[in-house]
Amino acid sequence: MSNHIIRISENALIQLCLSGLEAYSVPHKGVRKQKNRLETYGLLWGYEALIKGETKLYNVEFVSIDTSAKQDHASVDPSNQSLQLKGELITSFWPHYDFLGDVHTHPYEHYTDVLPIKGYNYSSTDIKRIEDNTVYWSIYNYRVGLVLTVSRLHSKPRRGLVQLDKSTIEFTLGKYRLW
């Protein structure tokens, strides 16, 4: 397996955080049962480059949130038509951007629920979704899968950014903790 680095631009990070926090905090009209703490789904766009000839850099420049995805508090079901439509438009008008992969959120009510179960990682269901659709994903050259985990803080927030492992950072935005 080759070495790789995933770089998320400031704009892509802002898009991820804002859409994740909105789905977490703002009640959604037309959604039955629980109307907030919903998962959300988006597509990652950017480019791939080689660094020093051997390390792949996946540079995520922006995120397009799938507004047609069916959202729930424990799952999100995206529309395949969204990727097809957006892929055609982006490669036609912005050919320097390529589809890199996808992102979805994991909303947790309590901060203390996340760390013991490593809720900032892909769940077994997330992994199965990708494995069961390898033919579909290979058509689009899927390379990057991200999770943004969101939880509300009920006490004084910790300051700063914490790196939990080589692929996970933890940080606070206002009353929310994100991974």
Domain assignment present for 176? no
Domain assignment present for 168? no
Domain assignment present for 68? yes
Domain assignment present for 161? no
What is the model's pLDDT at position 159? 63
What is the model's pLDDT at position 1? 47
Segments forming the whole domain that contains residue 44: 3-152
CATH number at residue 12: 3.40.140.10
What is the model's pLDDT at position 157? 65
- The percentage of residues in the chain with a pLDDT greater than 90, rounded to a whole number, is 60
**pLDDT greater at residue 64 or residue 111:** 64
Handedness of CA 23, 103, 45, 47 (dihedral sign): positive
Q: Is 29's pLDDT higher than 50?
A: yes
The total number of structural domains in the chain stands at 1
Domain assignment present for 175? no
Handedness of CA 152, 155, 161, 166 (dihedral sign): negative
Domain assignment present for 127? yes
Residue 52: other Cβ atoms inside 10 A: 6
Single pTM value for the model:
0.90
Domain assignment present for 95? yes
Average per-residue pLDDT for the chain? 89
Domain assignment present for 167? no
pLDDT tens, residue by residue, 32-65 = 665 788 889 999 999 999 998 889 999 999 999 9
What DSSP letter does each residue of 115-131 carry, written as one string? HHHTTTSPPHHHHHHHH
The two structure tokens encoding residue 83? 């990727």
